[in-house]
Amino acid sequence: MKRKGSIHLSVGASSILMIFVVLCLTTFGVLSYVTANADAKISTKNAEMVENYYAGSTAAEKQLQQVDSTLLAAKADAELAVENGNVDATKYDASYKSHDQIHSVVDIINGTLPKEQKCKLVYRSFSEMLLTSIPGFSIDAGTDGEPLRFTYVTDAGSGHHLETKFTVNPYGDSNRYTVTSKKLINDQTVGETSQGNLQLWQGNSAK
């Protein structure tokens, strides 16, 4: 018999409560795992991008080392060519002779300019010939009086590349080259894909 004032829980109330609590726990557990997983993916993508950028930057520095050794060789060859009066004994004579510019270089060597001026002009020509023969290097158009300007790119992964521009300093300068800019450029431009969408992540890494 029912007592006055007593609270009576019917059968099934605790089951309903249990189902509710378990549902809440499961929902919150799944939500927190999904959020943590998404955060981990973003962190991983960021880490990969940073790694690829510095790999591209390291490759760019190695290219600069190649530029410097090339300019040193061009300087030595220019001095030797002016001294000897011909390009035959130079280190890269085969490379110079394959360029059309060689005729103007020979004219300068055989000309009546002072030795210092000859070295300056021959060094400029030899630098241009050697640097343009390196794969990936392009010369920016300029007038004769301006320093030589070059551009090269290195892969920075994740759909980016690193563009480095430098100028070749005149003969006799203590700094053989000057880096004028370094830019990280996205390979993909808006409008190339259909519907004008910009793909933000291709999921590729630099090799």
Partner 1 sequence: MKHSGVQYNSFFIEIILVILFFSVSVAVTLQLFVAANNRAQQSSDLSVAVIKAENIAEQVKSLSTADALPKALDTAKPSGSGDTPHYSIGYDKEWNETESDPRYVVDVTMNKAKSDGGTMVIADISINRLHNSSTESLYRLNSAKYLPNH
57 binds partner 1 (CB under 8 A): yes
65 touches partner 1 by CB under 8 A = yes
Least Cβ distance, residue 181 to partner 1 (angstroms):
15
> For residue 196, what are its two tokens?
């004008």
Nearer to partner 1, 26 or 98 (CB): 26
Q: Does 201 help bind partner 1 (rule: CB under 8 A)?
A: no
**Binding to partner 1 by residue 193, rule CB under 8 A?**
no
Q: Is 55 in the site for partner 1 (CB under 8 A)?
A: yes
By CB under 8 A, is residue 183 in contact with partner 1?
no
Residues in touch with partner 1 (CB under 8 A): 1, 9, 11-12, 14-15, 17-18, 21-22, 25-26, 29-30, 32-33, 35-37, 39-40, 42-44, 46-47, 50-51, 54-55, 57-58, 61-62, 64-65, 68-69, 71-72, 174-177
